Amino acid sequence: MEPIFSGAAAMMILFCVVALAATVFWLWMLVDALTNEPDTNQKILWFLVIFFLHFIGALIYFVVRKGENRRSPNVR
């Protein structure tokens, strides 16, 4: 019965690591939206999207807003 318990423990550790990484990413995107959005309405909108959709909202913000910053040319 040892392999069953060691496999279950490994899965629990893996799940905890993934959950912790998702939470850190969520907090990072939440803080980023609140500090880097220039318009107050945009801050409120992105805060609500990220807060209520958790990881999916943070992922949407990352893809939409950060992808927008990467595609814009450097204007001097």
User: Which residues of the chain fall below pLDDT 70?
Assistant: 1-5, 69-76
Give the tokens for residue 41: 């309405």
In this prediction, residue 7 carries a pLDDT of: 78
In this prediction, residue 76 carries a pLDDT of: 47
In this prediction, residue 22 carries a pLDDT of: 96
C-alpha span between 17 and 37 (Å, rounded): 30
Q: For the chain, state the CA radius of gyration.
A: 18
DSSP secondary structure letter of residue 64: I
